[in-house]
Amino acid sequence: MNLVYTPFIIPMSAAVVVCFLVFLYAIRHRQIASSPAFIWLMGSIIEWLVCYLIWMVTDDVQFKVLLSKIEYIGVVMVAPAWLLFAVQYAGHNKWISANNIALISILPIVTLILVWTNEQHWLIWDGYNFHWDHNILLPDIKYGQWFWVQTAYSYLLLIIGTLLILRRVFESSQYYRNQAIVLVAGVLVPWFGNILYVLQIGFIPGLDPTPFFFAISGILLGAGLFYFRLLSIVPIARNLVVENMDGCLLVLDGNNRIVDLNRACLNIFGWSLKKVVGKNITEVWTYNKELLEKYSEALNVRSEITLEKNGEIYYYDLQIQPLYNRNNSYMGRLITLHDITELREAQMEIQRQRKQESIELIAGGVAHDFNNLLSIIMGNFKLVKIACEEHRDIKDYLQRIYDSAQKASAITSQLLTFTKGIEPVKEPLSLSRIVRDTAELILSTSEVSYQLKVPPDLWQVYTDKNLMVQVLENLIINANQAMPEGGTIFITAENIKSSPLLPKPLKMTNSYVKLSFKDQGMGIPREQLSKIFDPYFTTKQQGSGLGLAICDAIIRKHDGYIAVESVVGKGSTFMVYLPAYLEQLEN
């Protein structure tokens, strides 16, 4: 056997190199859902090319026949691999199963068996006659009957796969249409050459132009890989519902490149589809850079963000979710934005109205209280004047004036709690003794009893003792007044470790001490629960309406949280969360 030189070796070698580079790129991106089928496709093509390259440079007939049989392994596998890739690319993964793969492989396997036993039936090649042309030993083309069956089957699979991808073209954005067109062209070009070869139209008789067309195919697929990000950016299954949804849908790959987005997203950010798909999000983001940095690597997020556009502020509900393939490999992120500007503005208007109502309540309450106290003071001053004229004792009148002034001072002190005028002087504090002493003092002359449940390992809190006593007094007095005919206050304390189930105002990464005060009163109607911590709001005849408002203000100053649960006819439970003392937890 001798090796012969022919100029056709150069384009054939180029085709092998280009297709091998595409093959390596596919292996590098094998985690993409459609990559295994694409690797199978390129591997079959390379096997076909390498065998044909060696086939051209040999002058041994028997060796050429052997190479033709080996070459057929790649030839019969190209069409099934293309179909599988097209199915995955078009998003029909549910069609792919072991049974279906076996089904489309039956005829190629039969063909391979017939290829290797051709001498017994001549169903593939009808003889092995060769002639020399252009310094290549070429066959005289005579095909058997089964060759046409295999050829028709391969063309059928190619057509089905192409139609699947073309259908995806009409459902996708312009970017994916260009990607799909390049992909289809890259695969169909060699088969155009194959049709010319099978029908013996043009070219050198006996020389198969199909492998040479694979050089063009490799260039097209290479353009798809590097320009249109084929394999690293594949179309996410999308339909008209996604395209026409009101909210923004944005898909990023693992490298923060924009893979897909809908029309709403383009409108929100003012982007052009052609200019952003395939680009890193950092390259096209023109809004708040701090916002981009905050969420650049976030995987599970539900938050509210604001964007300024044309001098106006817009509010959005932001959700970020990770995307994984069937092998649980990280693929990228799904980001959705829903415009909640109208809802947010409505909420702010309600808050403004409530704030105005609170101010009116405070102003009315303060005016009422101070008017009563001033009336007492002015009345007693008149009595002092009369008593002085009559030379009577004025001590009682002065005491009333002093008591009224003290009450006015107390009201002023309470109101300062809602401002920055009073700041807690914090220290490590154990709550168990303070809770017990406060309950004993307030309930000593009451018909109401209490039950206290405190674990021996209750954490300390970092708090202002005097302010915390004020909170405890208000909550216990409130529970006592809710049961005028007697009952029991159930007071419990517990350690709450960091948890995502913590109430929303609290930080889920922190640990807290929780105090609960449960009474057996009549409960609070649902429509009043939202106002219960407002200043001067009260449902009782006795009381100023400042107690719970003061508790709320003090707890907030300690980075804590107070909440209430109530059922009419069964009673109410007030829950206080206070941050645990960090140094104790660390020790």
User: Does 2 reside within a domain?
Assistant: no
Residues 184, 168 contacting (CB under 8 angstroms)? no
User: Does 158 reside within a domain?
Assistant: yes
Q: Examine the domain organization and report whether 214 and 253 are in the same domain.
A: no
User: Does 421 reside within a domain?
Assistant: no
Q: Examine the domain organization and report whether 112 and 250 are in the same domain.
A: no
Going from the C-alpha of 256 to that of each of 1, 30, 252, 261, the distances in angstroms are 56, 18, 5, 13
Residue numbers of the chain with a pLDDT score lower than 50: 33, 226, 231-240
User: Does 422 reside within a domain?
Assistant: no
pLDDT of 55:
83
Of 416, 439, 460, the residue at which a domain comes to its end is 416
Which helix (H) or strand (E) covers residue 66, if one does?
A: helix 61-89
- Helices (H) and strands (E) in the chain — how many of each? 20, 14
What is the distance of C-alpha 231 from the center of its chain? 23
Q: Examine the domain organization and report whether 436 and 402 are in the same domain.
A: no
Of 318, 339, 360, the residue at which a domain comes to its end is 339
Residues 225, 270 contacting (CB under 8 angstroms)? no
Q: Which amino acid is at 566?
A: S
Taking only the tens place, the pLDDT of each residue in 262-293 is 778 777 777 877 777 878 888 888 777 777 77
Instruction: State the Cα angle at 296 between 291 and 297, rounded to 5°.
Output: 135
User: Does 134 reside within a domain?
Assistant: yes
Q: Examine the domain organization and report whether 335 and 356 are in the same domain.
A: no
Q: Which amino acid is at 229?
A: R
Q: Examine the domain organization and report whether 159 and 259 are in the same domain.
A: no
How many other CB atoms sit within 10 Å of the CB of residue 182? 19
What is the distance of C-alpha 452 from the center of its chain? 44
User: Does 1 reside within a domain?
Assistant: no
Give me the DSSP letters along 130-148: EEEETTEEEE---B-HHHH
β-partners of residue 280 are 257
Q: Examine the domain organization and report whether 335 and 351 are in the same domain.
A: no
Q: Examine the domain organization and report whether 152 and 218 are in the same domain.
A: yes
pLDDT of 459:
92
β-partners of residue 315 are 306
CATH code of residue 154: 1.20.1070.10
pLDDT of 575:
94
CATH code of residue 273: 3.30.450.20
CA dihedral 196, 200, 201, 206 (to 10 degrees): 90
Q: Examine the domain organization and report whether 333 and 349 are in the same domain.
A: no
Looking up tokens 């911590």, which residue turns up? 533
Taking only the tens place, the pLDDT of each residue in 332-366 is 888 888 888 888 888 777 777 766 666 665 666 66
Give me the DSSP letters along 160-223: HHHHHHHHHHHHS-HHHHHHHHHHHHHHHHHHHHHHHHHTT-SSSTT---HHHHHHHHHHHHHH
Q: Examine the domain organization and report whether 215 and 244 are in the same domain.
A: no
Q: Examine the domain organization and report whether 331 and 256 are in the same domain.
A: yes
User: Does 234 reside within a domain?
Assistant: no
Backbone angles phi, psi at 283, to 5 degrees: -80, -25
Structural domain total, the chain: 4
Residues 156, 170 contacting (CB under 8 angstroms)? no
Q: Examine the domain organization and report whether 438 and 502 are in the same domain.
A: yes
Q: Helix 9-28 crosses helix 35-57 at what angle (to 10 degrees)?
A: 160
Going from the C-alpha of 495 to that of each of 261, 457, 458, 501, 581, the distances in angstroms are 46, 8, 6, 14, 11
Residues 90, 164 contacting (CB under 8 angstroms)? yes
Distance, in Å, from the CA atom of 378 to the CA atom of 408, rounded to the nearest integer, reads 14
DSSP assignment letter at 237: P
pLDDT of 297:
77
Distance, in Å, from the CA atom of 104 to the CA atom of 83, rounded to the nearest integer, reads 9
Distance, in Å, from the CA atom of 436 to the CA atom of 57, rounded to the nearest integer, reads 100
**Residue 474 has which token pair?**
């208000």
pLDDT of 326:
61
Q: Examine the domain organization and report whether 192 and 328 are in the same domain.
A: no
Residues 533, 360 contacting (CB under 8 angstroms)? no
State the residue range of the domain holding 107.
9-226
Of 291, 311, 339, the residue at which a domain comes to its end is 339
CATH code of residue 543: 3.30.565.10
Distance, in Å, from the CA atom of 50 to the CA atom of 56, rounded to the nearest integer, reads 10
pLDDT of 231:
46
Q: Quote the longest CA-to-CA distance of the chain.
A: 149
β-partners of residue 131 are 138
HSE-up of residue 61 (Cα within 13 Å, Cβ side): 8
Backbone angles phi, psi at 252, to 5 degrees: -115, 145
User: Does 232 reside within a domain?
Assistant: no
